[in-house]
A and B are shown apart, each in its own frame.
Chain A
Amino acid sequence: SAVISQKPSRDICQRGTSLTIQCQVDSQVTMMFWYRQQPGQSLTLIATANQGSEATYESGFVIDKFPISRPNLTFSTLTVSNMSPEDSSIYLCSAGGVGVEQFFGPGTRLTVL
């Protein structure tokens, strides 16, 4: 299994600003993903972070709002741009190898005022 860390663990931001969330994996992984989760609810996939190419976004999520970087096989960032209160949520990154299992980071709890 992979150990995944995220920074920051939580933040409170003002409307209209942007926040970049970092995800670090302790080993090289093939796949990295970003999810959003409302407290107590299930996970919604935002995008697959592709190493060396543009991320693949799910329906309802666009690159201008959620730009993603993945410069190598152990690191990825998700930026939440031009934030509004509706963006308040928990953002999770996950990593997977050649198998089907995904391992999750602890999440970043974002509150937008």
Chain B
Amino acid sequence: TQLLEQSPQFLSIQEGENLTVYCNSSSVFSSLQWYRQEPGEGPVLLVTVVTGGEVKKLKRLTFQFGDARKDSSLHITAAQPGDTGLYLCAGSNAGNMLTFGGGTRLMVKP
């Protein structure tokens, strides 16, 4: 069974601070996706990384896929209250099946 561990589980920070969320596994994934979910809504896809060592930037969000394709990180610069939500990483292999991490609940206080 492939497992993805996310850390931290909870994060409460002030507006303007930086933060990093980690997603780690002992298994190799062909790709990894990051989602953000707000209360009452489904997860929304932020990014997909597929190449070991890949770095993708989405405005203030930077996503990195580990060289061995077993881990990933999400870094948010100058967090804003609108970044508040549940962040989920999900690894994919054959069959388009996703293995989800446990999630990181982020609260950004104004």
Contacts and interface: CB of A to CB of B under 8 A. Distances in A.
11 contacts: A40-B86, A41-B103, A43-B43, A43-B100, A48-B97, A92-B43, A99-B96, A100-B48, A102-B96, A106-B42, A109-B40
Please tell me the size bucket of the interface on B.
20 to 34
Interface in A42-66: 42-45, 48
B100 A100 contact: no
Chain B at the A interface: SS class: strand
Interface of B: 30-31, 33, 35, 40-45, 48, 50, 86, 88, 90, 92, 96-98, 100-103, 105
B42 A41 contact: no
B74 to A, nearest CB: 15
The 8 closest A-B pairs by CB, nearest first: A104-B42, A100-B92, A42-B103, A43-B100, A42-B100, A100-B31, A104-B43, A42-B102
B98 to A, nearest CB: 6
B58 to A, nearest CB: 14
A105 B30 contact: no
Given A4-B42, A45-B97, A45-B98, A100 B30 contact: yes
B42 A107 contact: yes
A96 B33 CA distance: 13
B93 to A, nearest CB: 9
B98 A102 contact: yes
Interface residues of A, number: 25
Interface in A10-31: 30-31
A101 interface: yes
Contacts of B101: 42
